[in-house]
Each structure stands twice: as structure tokens, then as C-alpha cells.
Amino acid sequence: SNSSHPTNRPKLTDSYTEDTWMKLRDAVSAIQNSTSIRYNLEELYQAVENLCSYKVSPVLYKQLRQVCEDHVQAQIHQFREYPSSSLDSLSFLKRMNRCWQDHCSQTIMIRSIFLFLDRTYILQNSLLPSIWDTGLELFRTHIVSDGAVQSRTVEGILEQIERERNGETVDRSLLRSLLGMLSDLQVYKDSFEQRFLTETNRLYAAEGQRLMQERDVPEYLHHVARRLEEENDRVISYLDQSTQKPLITTVEKQLLGEHMNAILQKGLWMLLDENRVCELMLLYELLNKVKGGLTALLQAWRDYIKSFGGEIVSSPEKDKEMVQELLDFKDKMDHVTQRCFQRNDTFINAMKEAFESFINKRPNKPAELIAKYVDSKLRAGNKEATEEELERILDKIMIIFRFIHGKDVFEAFYKKDLAKRLLVGKSASVDAEKSMLSKLKHECGAAFTSKLEGMFKDMELSKDIMIQFKQYMQNQSDPSNIELTVNILTMGYWPSYTPMDVHLPTEMVKLQEVFKVFYLGKHSGRKLQWQPTLGHAVLKTEFKEGKKELQVSLFQTLVLLMFNESDECSVEEIRAATGIEDGELKRTLQSLACGKARVLNKMPRGKDVEDADRFHFNSDFRHKLFRIKINQIQMKETVEEQVSTTERVFQDRQYQIDAAVVRIMKMRKTLSHNLLVSELYNQLKFPVKPADLKKRIESLIDRDYMERDKENPNQYHYVA
């Protein structure tokens, strides 16, 4: 630096140094008092450079620091003497801000003149603060660290923030500048942040308590979200970035953490009942921010599903709607997990567990009703759904079906309904039937559906057999004028039907014999058992209006054929001639004489059939159709029928338990009671009580399949 201005360097004398310093001090003083500087800046810069070159830097630095310190010290009085009413707190803050802003711009100006000193001597002395840092240090020491002044500044700032929180408009740039000052002076954390967080805590603790009493949950949630947004905005606008985390944590703790259980107890069920998607989404987002929030929400959500679902399942008077309500409820809960709970797997699994728990609280009934619901959808009369919709409904049903423990109950009722659909030709679509079967097979394995598949096979084989039988009949010397169609049902596949002996007309009996000879000729060693309850026929009939065809059950056929012989018959005569059991006979007569298509007239008239009634053929019968289907009076599925289906399931379960015990014992030879029971639980596919298992084990011991150990009664041995 010595060589840069070799020509115009003045001779250094004490008087030169003194004069130069006076000149510089005047300039500093002019800057501090905001008056004009008498010298040009380049000249002043040069003067500093000259003094530094002549090794008087240490003195120069000291003198500069002293001048600055004297000036800053003089500033404190205006703040100490400031009136202390709260009205003046804002003007106090404004004055403090002006003082700070002036101090900064003065320090920058002074530094630009003394830049050479700053860049050489001060930079080389690591213990000395730069001119800018010296300025900060002086302001901190003499103004901001003054107890009264600091306390008043911080209180003023806190008061402004509180006003803003209460909805008033405040001067944000003033706050930004003052908090920036505290930050620059490195007193932000100690002087301001601690107090600010304490105040925030106090304010929101009181606000949370008050609003939880006054507002309903949706309103409260929106309020919390708005408060969090405001506080985040405060950080962006004027607080130090480092305050964000503790500030937001404080707000979340006081508005959410402290009231988490109250919010869930008071609001969750209502939000779910009313399907308030937005608020549920908000609830999830907010509780996700708080420690333990989602765990609490998860538990409350699980409880809600169990309670609401439990009501659907456990009210017998609502059995008719049960399955539809379950489907709707599942849809609704799926929607909530998708839209509101961000498809969180934990929530999806909790929902599945809750469904499984409540649906099995009432054993067997849901399984039975699901089977009936599927029947109602697969039956031919079901016009409400296209094939795609039907497929969708079946998929949804399978989800509910999955939750059920006693799937064998479903199978028993499903089989019974499927049999009706197949035998009466009442299936809406073979594709839908096959689709349902493949879903069941996929869900429960081939063993579960093997009998159901067998039923379909029987129907297809029967078609082939009938083609062969028709050809066989054409070669008979004595062709019959009745066309016979037979469905051959394999006993193990189909539900068991109670055999009923009725008196068939001779031509029917003869035709049955012909078929029997034909069939057994092809399949020797098989036994045919006719099921009159499932039979139906088409009768050609002449009325005054003309010829008609009647589509009727076998029992209706037997009754109507009697009127070929006589015009009028009593109930007793019909019973004797047909051999139909009493209840069945009365229902059959009712369908012919009291239904929509009355081909018989009953004397006396009335809805019910009594023993003394008499019937005669109604030759005046009219109908717009040529072929008329006369519906049987559908005996609503009787309680006995339901009970017998359920009992059959239980009987099957006993056999399965027995078989499993023998299988396990045969393999293990010796086993303790507890190990045997736990092994059984692994193998059995239906729910079973320990007491029931104990009974089956006792029964097997009685029948000598296994025995108790002589020494230890809890130990069993297999008996070969």
C-alpha cells in the first residue's frame, strides 16, 4: 500500500496526525448528528489510509471507538426518560427503531470512511471486532442491555403481537425491524423468545379451554387450523426462523394435545355419522402433528366401527336390511380411509379387524343372510342390475364374506338356494353364477366349492342324458304321449330333501320305469330315488274361452288331473287320491283356487282351505296369455327349515372335529390336551369353543379311537 501513492504522501508529523484526526472526528460527528460533511469522502478515505501507513492504526482505532461509544452512551437518556404509560409503548418502539436504523446507517457510513483501517489493522488482529461489530457491541452494551429499556422494548413487541392475535392490525415492518435488531445483537433468544413462548403458551392454554366449551368440534378444528396458519405467517413476516419449531409445537400442544381425547369423544362419531369429509380430513392432518394423536384417533375409529356395525348385526328386526346396510357402511368407511385418512394402512387394517370383530359377535346369522342376499341378486327376477353392476355387487359381498368365521353356514344356505335356482331354471345368468363360484373358490379353496361345482356338473350331464333318452324313446314300440325331462342329482352334492310318497297316475309311473331301465342300463349299481317335491309339469287344458297351457308343480298337476274324472271333489277325496301330505295339500289347493289364476272354484269362498271345503273346475277361467304359470303358495322359508339347515352345519362340524382329532393323534401318537387343542384350532376353519372340543375328545375316547394316560389324565394316546 505504500507504493500506491508515492508522490502525494504528506510528511508525518504529530501536528499532521492531530489535524487529520480532527478532520476525521468532525466527519464522524457530522454523520452521527446527520449534518453535512465538510470534506469529500475520498479525501477522508485517503487520510485514513495515510495514518494507517504511518503505523498509528492502534491509536486511530481506539480514538474512533471512543467517539462512537460517547455518542451511543448519549442516546440512552431519551429512552430512560420516556413517559411510561401504555399508550406511549408504540411510539417508544418507533423511537427505538429510528435510533437503531440511524445507528446502522451511521455505522455503515463511518465504516466506508475507515474501510482501510477495517481491512488491514483490525482484520489482522483477531481479538479486535470489526467496525460494524463494534457498532453492534456498543449499541447492545449501552442501550439494549439496559434493564429498563430492554424490558420496555420486549414488552412493547409482545403487546403488539398480542393485539395482532386478537385481530387488530399492527405495523409488521416495525416488528420485523426490531426483532431483526434483537437478532443482530444476539439477545433475541434470551431477551425475547423465552418470554414470547411463555406468553404464547398462556394465551393458547386459556383459548383452548374456553373454545372447547363454547364451540362444536368442526368449528374448533377450523379455528385450530387457522391459528396454526397465522403463527406460521408470523414466522415468515417478522419472527426469527429459529422460533418456528417451538412456537408451532406450543400451539399444537395447547390447542390439540391437551384436548385430543375431548375432541375425539365429543366430535369423531358425529363427524362419521354425518360423513363430514372435510372436517375428518382436517382432524387427521391436525392429530398427525401431535404426539400420540393418530394412535388415539385409530382407537376411537375402531370403537366407532365396532359400535355402529354391532348395531346393524345384532338387531333381529333389521335382519332384512342387514347385508345392504353392511355394504353401505363398508363403502362409507372405505371412502373415509381413502379421502380423509390418506389411505393409511394402519387405519385400513384396523377397519378390517373391527368389521371381523363385530360381524362375528352374532354367530351364523350374518353368514345365512349373506347367502340369501347373493341368492336375491342371482335370481332371474332381479332386473335392477346390469352384468357389470352385478359383478361389482358380488365383489363387495365377497369382502364382507371374508370377515365371517363360520363360512360353512354360508355354504349350507348358499347350496340350498343354488339348488332352487338350478332346478327351477331361475338363475339370472350362468356367467354370474360361475363368477360367484370362482370367487368362492379363490377365497376358500377348491374343497369349499367342490359340491357346488358338482351341482353344475349334474345339470350339464342331465342335459346330455336327456338327449340320449329322447333317442331311446323314439326306438320304443310303445311311445308315450308325455314328454319327460329328468335331472339326475348326485346325493352328496345337493341339499337333502325329505322323500314324500305320492300317488302318481299310471302313465307317469310307467314312464318313470322306462327311464329307470334306460338309466340303469347305462350306469349299473346306482340307485334312483324320485323327488316329487321338486317336479313340475305343463298341462294342456280346455276352458270355454279356448285351449290354454298351465305351468304347474307336480303336486298341482296331481290335483288338477282329478278333475278329468269328476267335476267336484272334497279335500278328503283329493287327499286320498293323491297321497299329498296335509300342509302341502292345503297350500297347493290354495294356489289353484285362491291365487291370481283361479282354475278351481272353492265352496265356500275364502282365503284359507278348510277340511270341509269342496272344489270344482272353473271352466269360465279367462287369461290373456296362452301359457300361464300358476305360482305355488311359497311357504316362507319356515323356521324349521332354517333350523334344520343350521343343525346340518353343526352336525358336519362334529364330524370335521372328530376327523381332525383322529388325524392329529394318528400322526403324533401321544399328545397333551393343550397341544391337541391348539393343533385343532390351527386346522379347523370355523369358530369352536374349547368345551365343544372337549366333548368330541370324550366321545372319541368312549368309542376307543384314543385313550387317556393312566398316570396323567391330561395326556392322550392314539389307539390303533
CA pair distance 633, 584, nearest whole angstrom: 10
Radius of gyration of the chain (CA): 49
Q: At what angle do helices 194-214 and 147-165 cross, to 10 degrees?
A: 30
Task: Report phi then psi at 86, rounded to 5.
Answer: -70, -25
- How high is the pLDDT of residue 160? 95
Task: Report phi then psi at 530, rounded to 5.
Answer: -75, 145
CA pair distance 353, 333, nearest whole angstrom: 13
Query: Do residues 185 and 240 make contact, with C-beta atoms less than 8 angstroms apart?
Result: no
What value does the mean pLDDT take over residues 10-35? 81
What's the pLDDT tens digit per position in 679-706? 898 888 777 888 888 888 988 888 888 8
**Position 339 pLDDT exceeds 50:** yes
CA pair distance 365, 363, nearest whole angstrom: 6
Helix, coil or strand: residue 299 = helix
In terms of DSSP H, where are the helices of 424-534?
A: 430-444, 446-474, 506-522
CA pair distance 437, 422, nearest whole angstrom: 14
Residue found by looking up cell 333317442 in the block: 471
Least confident segment among 149-163, 302-316, 693-707: 693-707
Confidence at 13, pLDDT banded by 50, 70, 90: low
Query: Do residues 592 and 556 make contact, with C-beta atoms less than 8 angstroms apart?
Result: yes
Query: Do residues 487 and 531 make contact, with C-beta atoms less than 8 angstroms apart?
Result: no
Query: Do residues 560 and 618 make contact, with C-beta atoms less than 8 angstroms apart?
Result: no
- How high is the pLDDT of residue 639? 60
> What percentage of the chain reaches a pLDDT higher than 90?
51
CA pair distance 289, 221, nearest whole angstrom: 13
Query: Do residues 302 and 352 make contact, with C-beta atoms less than 8 angstroms apart?
Result: no
With 0-12 / 13-18 / 19 or more C-beta atoms within 10 angstroms meaning exposed / middle / buried, residue 435 is middle
Task: Report phi then psi at 118, rounded to 5.
Answer: -65, -40
Least confident segment among 6-10, 280-284, 411-415, 431-435: 6-10
Q: Domain residues of the chain, as ranges?
A: 14-144, 535-637, 640-718
- How high is the pLDDT of residue 381? 66
Confidence at 223, pLDDT banded by 50, 70, 90: very high
Name, in order, each residue with C-beta under 8 angstroms of 61's C-beta and a sequence gap of 6 or more. 117, 121, 122, 128
Q: Spell 250-272 as b/e; 16+ CB within 10 A means b.
A: bbbbbbbbbbbeebbeebbbebb
Quick one: how far is CA 437 from the chain centroid?
28
- How high is the pLDDT of residue 641? 67
**Position 149 pLDDT exceeds 60:** yes
**Position 11 pLDDT exceeds 90:** no
Query: Do residues 240 and 193 make contact, with C-beta atoms less than 8 angstroms apart?
Result: yes
Provide the 8-state DSSP code for 311. Answer: H
Query: Do residues 50 and 10 make contact, with C-beta atoms less than 8 angstroms apart?
Result: yes
Residue 545 one-letter amino acid: E
Beta bridge partners of 627: 549
With 0-12 / 13-18 / 19 or more C-beta atoms within 10 angstroms meaning exposed / middle / buried, residue 44 is buried
- Find, among 285, 162, 182, the residue nearest to 234 by Cα: 162
H/E element, 718: strand 715-718
What's the pLDDT tens digit per position in 113-144? 999 899 999 999 989 999 999 999 999 999 88
**Position 427 pLDDT exceeds 90:** no
The CATH code of domain 14-144 reads 1.20.1310.10
Beta bridge partners of 707: 717
- How high is the pLDDT of residue 400? 94
Query: Do residues 297 and 336 make contact, with C-beta atoms less than 8 angstroms apart?
Result: no
Confidence at 294, pLDDT banded by 50, 70, 90: very high
What value does the mean pLDDT take over residues 614-620? 89
The CATH architecture annotation of domain 535-637 reads 2-Layer Sandwich (3.30)
What's the pLDDT tens digit per position in 654-681? 888 899 999 999 988 898 988 899 889 8
What's the pLDDT tens digit per position in 226-242? 999 999 999 999 999 99
Residue found by looking up cell 309311473 in the block: 509
CA pair distance 183, 239, nearest whole angstrom: 10
CA pair distance 370, 69, nearest whole angstrom: 90
Cα-Cα-Cα-Cα torsion 614, 615, 620, 626, nearest 10 degrees, comes to 160
Quick one: how far is CA 148 from the chain centroid?
59
**Position 10 pLDDT exceeds 60:** no
Omega prior to 604 cis, within 30 of 0? yes
- How high is the pLDDT of residue 404? 92
Residue 264 CA: distances (Å) to CA of 114, 246, 348, 663: 66, 25, 19, 51
Highest mean pLDDT among 17-26, 345-354, 375-384: 345-354
Cα-Cα-Cα-Cα torsion 645, 647, 650, 654, nearest 10 degrees, comes to -120
- How high is the pLDDT of residue 86? 57
Q: Spell 443-481 as b/e; 16+ CB within 10 A means b.
A: ebeeebbebbbebbebbeebeebbeebeebbeeeeeeee
Residue found by looking up cell 491509536 in the block: 59
The CATH code of domain 640-718 reads 1.10.10.10
With 0-12 / 13-18 / 19 or more C-beta atoms within 10 angstroms meaning exposed / middle / buried, residue 531 is middle
